[in-house]
Amino acid sequence: MKLYDYLPSGNSYKVRLLMSYLERDYTHVPIDIHKDETHTADFLAKNPAGQIPLLELDDGRVIAESNAILLYLGEGSSFVPDDKFDRAKMYQWMFFEQYKHEPAIAVARFIRHYAMESRAEDLPNLVTRGNAVLAIMDRHLNDREWFAGDAQSLADIALYAYTHVADEGGFELSAYPNIQKWLLRFVQHERHILITDQPSSG
């Protein structure tokens, strides 16, 4: 498999993290989104949306959208609950991550890193929205270790990617003690990797 990926991207990181946990081999293909490398003719032929991450299977078929890639890779693993209700809760939190979490927390991080001058006026609203999201997550984790069922699932991996770097978007994670405990559970995994870890190119 090939993973077309931009290293600082949380959406790309969640795929690399699951690949590490599952001990899956893949070829890493770095893509620089700031040089419009997702809008070349070759890349657009693979993903007309012009976005990373993109997973190319051995037979040439491709899967876009980070959470769709997680679901493909995670099928049949311990990261997808067997129980129908727990599995639905996993989907619920994965949808929450893309609809509520990523548009606030990831976008605030992007602005602070790359677009501060042109979009600084957007930050107060994004921080308000992001803190509301973090408060929801913290309350949910008050009496549980993971988001769906009794074990770590794809929902946790999806939410972890941008939550663990939320401080880079201006969020004070010290205000959310249950989230802090949840984040620590990740780094205790023997195959945990950092968002800054450079993958092997093949």
What are 70-102's pLDDT values in tens digits? 999 999 999 999 999 999 999 999 999 999 999
Co-location of 61 and 104 in the same domain: no
Co-location of 49 and 96 in the same domain: no
Co-location of 118 and 68 in the same domain: no
Single out the residue in 30, 56, 74 at which a domain terminates.
74
Return the axis-axis angle of helices 10-22 and 154-163, rounded to nearest 10°: 140
Q: 57: domain range?
A: 2-74
- Rounded to a whole number of angstroms, the CA Rg of the chain reads 17
Residue 45 lies in a domain: yes
Find the CATH number of the domain harbouring 18.
3.40.30.10
Single out the residue in 27, 47, 74 at which a domain terminates.
74
Per DSSP, the chain holds a count of helices (H) and strands (E) of 9, 4
Q: What is the pTM of this model?
A: 0.95
Q: 130-180: per-residue pLDDT in tens?
A: 999 999 999 999 999 999 999 999 999 999 999 999 999 999 999 999 999
Q: Under a CB-based contact definition with an 8 Å cutoff, are residues 70 and 154 in contact?
A: yes
Residue 62 lies in a domain: yes
